[in-house]
Amino acid sequence: MATISREVETGTTTLGLVCKDGVVLAADRRATAGTLIAHKRTKKVYRLDDNIGLTTAGLVGDLQVLARYITAEVELYKLKRGVAMPVEACATLTANILSGSRFYPYWVQLVIGGWDRSGGHVFSLDAAGGSLPDKFVSSGSGSPYVYGVLEDHYKDDMTLDEGANLAIRAVTAAMKRDAVSGEGIDVALISPK
């Protein structure tokens, strides 16, 4: 009898951090299926709007569906109200979508970050709809390594350039120790300008 593989594409390192003049989002590019490197240039950083971005860890199909869904909702918000969606509202909307599917969940771990009238924000979201704000967050299998770097080197008054350099340093540290993270780093900078 044939056996159907249940291995899925997983393994990631992503992060978001707030700086005094913007928000940094970053992620590695590798997607794996068990011990196979399934893709070497996987998109894990998404633009939701001019002021909001998303990083993704988990099942690629679930991530892509959610990114399209959230982007559409953010655009509808802007069309109906004539203003950009606040970052916290985007995180709450996404958490509600995830919570509504918790019995048939999206297998994801997300970071939503952006800049609005009240400043910079990053949120960590889990598959059950939990949404936690912080100054810096990380998701994926490489997150323990990222947190080690960020806990030691993050400063509240960092510039966007300093934040980008720290993000690259943190994801690089994860790629050195986490076998399922790698193939380079994508970085998005979100500023009020």
Report the 10 Å Cβ neighbour count for 82: 7
Q: Does a structural domain hold residue 186? A: yes
Could you list the active site residues? 12
Distance, in Å, from the CA atom of 107 to the CA atom of 10, rounded to the nearest integer, reads 10
Domain coverage including residue 72? 9-30+38-190
What is the tens place of the pLDDT at every residue in 138-166? 999 999 999 999 999 999 999 999 999 99
Q: Does a structural domain hold residue 79? A: yes
Q: Does a structural domain hold residue 4? A: no
Q: What is the pTM of this model?
A: 0.91
Tell which residue, 108, 172, 184, 115, has the closest CA to residue 145: 172
What is the tens place of the pLDDT at every residue in 79-104? 999 999 999 999 999 999 999 998 88
Q: Does a structural domain hold residue 123? A: yes
Structural domains of the chain, count: 1
CB 90 within 8 A of CB 112: yes
Q: Sign (positive/negative) of CA torsion 155, 121, 160, 66?
A: positive
Q: Mean pLDDT, the chain, as a whole number?
A: 92
Q: Does a structural domain hold residue 155? A: yes
Q: Does a structural domain hold residue 147? A: yes
Distance, in Å, from the CA atom of 34 to the CA atom of 149, rounded to the nearest integer, reads 27
What is the tens place of the pLDDT at every residue in 21-50? 999 999 999 888 878 888 889 899 999 999
Query: The domain spanning residue 83 has which CATH number?
Result: 3.60.20.10
